[in-house]
Amino acid sequence: MTLHPQLQAIVSELEQALARLHALAAELPEPAWAWRPGPERWSVGECIAHLNLTSAAYLPSLRAALRSDTPMKPGSVLRYRRDPMGWLMWQMVGPTAWIRVKTTSRFIPQGSTPAKTLIADFERWQRDQIACVHEADGHDLNRLRIRSPFDPRVSYNAYACLTILPRHQHRHLWQAERACASLASRSG
């Protein structure tokens, strides 16, 4: 069965995020993963740890919403749309976001985790997220609601959530790439 084109686009973005992480890992030696480009900026390792924390928080909510729903006939949904709050959140989590929001303490990485562990965890979460996108096919994602683990007062539709996750990944991968470039310019 063919995946809905909008869901296939999400899978492609998740795969691209994984490819970016692998490219970064090939370029950066293990000790450099903990280097911070500034006191208020995260290291590469912290960026990836934050993404892993985010995936761990979102996936159970997404899966619970899908389990609570009765799927429709394949092809019933012609177009998925982000609701207004989902659109706003999608805008806010991108690399070029016009509004910067500090993350809540629950999502601030603590300690340093070895790069190999961070990468393995990220790979596992990516497989789980891609599987979740496939599970979502045939559900009315415009109607299903997801409460943000960052702020329980905020909710948006499941389609918005599925698009927010890879966009958020690309934001922090961009941040990690900038940290890597900053380190390279220091030692170059």
Confidence at residue 99, expressed as pLDDT on a 0 to 100 scale = 66
What is the predicted pLDDT for the residue at 158? 96
Helix axis angle for 5-27 and 115-136, nearest 10°, is 170
Domain count for the chain: 1
Please tell me the pTM assigned to this model.
0.91
Would you give the distance in Å from CA 96 to the centre of its chain? 15
The tens place of each residue's pLDDT in the chain, 188 residues long, gives: 688 999 999 999 999 999 999 999 998 988 899 988 888 889 999 999 999 999 999 999 999 999 998 877 766 767 899 999 999 999 888 877 666 677 777 788 887 899 999 999 999 999 999 999 999 998 999 999 999 998 889 999 999 999 999 999 999 999 999 888 887 667 65
Domain with 80 in it: what CATH number? Answer: 1.20.120.450
Residue 160: its pLDDT value, please? 97
Which structural domain range is residue 181 located in?
Answer: 5-187
What does the longest C-alpha to C-alpha distance in the chain come to? 58
Res 159: pLDDT? 97
